[in-house]
A and B are shown apart, each in its own frame.
Chain A
């Protein structure tokens, strides 16, 4: 497609192009414009890496601080796994009614 051919088609379609401008001008007035958007203030973003690091730190500190009922890391892991399995089974069996939790 060369320029001359396109120009020829445009000249032949001058009436359509005039009408198109009319449509455009009419359409442009249809949209209701809201005020210019205000730039959003920068929100505090926490990287997921920081979250993981903070969790690990909490775990390490929690294990390091002596308590009366201290358990070993191995016992803790087993307990965590058992609890997760129990919760998982309850959820799978439909024992939890989420409708009651969400209000």
Chain B
């Protein structure tokens, strides 16, 4: 019985699940958690300069808030925008930008990566590290828009709504960020 309920819930879209969460249905909440937690963990990781412990805590904090504020969700609003807006605000509240950023380079180098076996994979690994550093080195506003749009695949209007600025500004931040990163990657090659 419980399994069939879970299967039914799995097939439902996020908005429908969230409406059920609003009615206090915990199974729907668990399905949403399973569906989004990992991706949000990655988002927090990048937003908080690769502080793994913090990112793990933030996922818990975010979903606790989802439950607490479940009544504030409106079906007309895309679930992803609502969720990422909450996640983004959590990061903003918690930011320890400068100190975390300063420690980033060293921490990033210490991160354990899968062992590379060929020259190509070594180079690829170095490129990934370089890209991480380049993204973290972006100005805050550019980096936020960049991560929300390219990593989390939110549309420009959604990003504009989350960060609270006009769409044109988001587009120009994206273009500047992308150009900067591309230049840095080309310089490395």
Chain A binding site: helix, strand, loop or mixed by DSSP?
Answer: helix
Partner of B182, one of A13, A22, A33: A13
Q: How far is the CA of A64 from the CA of B172 in the complex (A)?
A: 73
Contacts of B34 in A (CB 8 A): 36
Q: How far is the CA of A2 from the CA of B34 in the complex (A)?
A: 37
Chain B binding site: helix, strand, loop or mixed by DSSP?
Answer: helix
The reply to whether A3 and B171 contact each other, CB–CB distance below 8 Å, is yes
Question: What residue of chain A has the Cβ atom nearest to residue B41's Cβ?
Answer: A31
- Contacts across chains A and B counted by CB atoms under 8 Å: 90
Q: How far is the CA of A25 from the CA of B138 in the complex (A)?
A: 20
A16-B185, A20-B151, A23-B128 known; A6-B38 Cβ under 8 A: no
Determine if B97 is an interface residue (Cβ-Cβ < 8 Å).
Answer: no
Instruction: Tell me the chain B residues, 97-132 only, with Cβ under 8 Å from chain A.
Output: 111, 124, 127-128, 131-132
Q: List 30 A-B contacts (CB under 8 A).
A: A3-B171, A9-B178, A13-B178, A13-B182, A16-B178, A17-B150, A20-B151, A22-B124, A23-B131, A24-B46, A24-B151, A26-B128, A27-B42, A27-B45, A27-B46, A29-B38, A30-B45, A30-B111, A31-B41, A31-B42, A31-B44, A31-B52, A32-B52, A33-B59, A34-B59, A34-B60, A36-B34, A37-B60, A39-B26, A40-B64
Interface set of B (CB-CB < 8 Å, partner A): 26, 29-30, 33-34, 37-39, 41-42, 44-46, 52, 55-56, 59-60, 63-64, 67, 111, 124, 127-128, 131-132, 135, 150-151, 168, 171-172, 174-175, 178-179, 181-182, 185
